[in-house]
A and B are shown apart, each in its own frame.
Chain A
Amino acid sequence: MTTQSKPTGFGNPWFQLGISIACVTVYELLLKRGAAETANLSPRWSWTGLSGLASIYVWIAIVFVILSLITWLHVLRYIPLSIAFPISQAVHVLVPLGSWLVLGENIIGLRWIGIALVSLGLAVVAKPVARLEEEL
């Protein structure tokens, strides 16, 4: 399943995957705050997203996305994309929860069911991986 022996401790790719997920969650929340702050700056070119660069939140978000990229590249060296990518989708649980808790966005009933399904899918994908790791 993996292409070479995995580093342990801080370099452990599963730990790095966790850091990557946390960084993406923070990045998305900051990006939304920055985008909302700059939404009316330049209506003509706003579809490009470039006007968002006027917000400090967007720049901090960029730092987090760079951190997530570095950790993600480390993850890709050791874990197959078809396993790492589905597990990285934990952000689809964390980002809506974060938008609810931090940004005050509304989450209605069906959306909660969606979040539960994503969580179940993550458990289904992660279970055989965890068993395999224990065997190694």
Chain B
Amino acid sequence: MKPISLVIVLIALLSAVAGQVFLKKAMESSHGAAGFRSRAVAIPFAAGIGLMTAQFFLNLGLLQRYDLSFIYPFQGLSVIIITFVAAVTLREKLTLQLVAGSILISVGVALVSLT
């Protein structure tokens, strides 16, 4: 894998993580009466969709060069990142079992990627 491709993989990964957090924030705020008309929903929703769209095109460019079964698992590293980011930014509860499961998933994904 070329260094530039690795950078694109990392940017795609960070876009995916930030996109998910923004979407979760938007959907949490959508429980209110104003729904999607509220700025508290619309702004994080637009940010989330924008980041996911950027990740989509970066991913498409990577797929034109590498096998799907090689590129896709890199995104699995987002599991452990999102689990911790959700705990910090969204104040979600972290259990030992959740952390252990996330680590197992990430290690599994890394093994799939390394081969």
Contacts and interface: CB of A to CB of B under 8 A. Distances in A.
Interface of A: 1, 3-4, 28-29, 31-32, 35-36, 38-39, 46-52, 58, 65, 69, 72-73, 76-77, 80-83, 85-86, 89, 91-92, 95-96, 99-100, 103, 105, 107-111, 113-128
Contacts, number: 185
Interface of B: 8, 20-21, 23-24, 27-28, 30-31, 52, 56-65, 67-69, 72-73, 76, 78-79, 82-83, 86-87, 90, 92-95, 97-98, 100-115
Given A3-B31, A28-B68, A89-B105, A111 B115 contact: yes
Contacts of B102: 86, 121, 125
Q: For the complex, would chain A's binding face be called helix, strand, loop or mixed by DSSP majority?
A: helix
Decide if the interface of chain B is mainly helix, strand, loop or mixed. helix
A108 B115 CA distance: 7
13 contacts: A82-B98, A86-B79, A86-B82, A89-B79, A92-B105, A95-B69, A103-B68, A111-B69, A113-B111, A114-B112, A118-B108, A121-B102, A122-B105
Given A47-B8, A122-B101, 13 more contacts: A31-B59, A35-B63, A52-B64, A73-B23, A80-B93, A81-B86, A85-B86, A86-B79, A105-B67, A107-B69, A117-B107, A120-B104, A125-B98
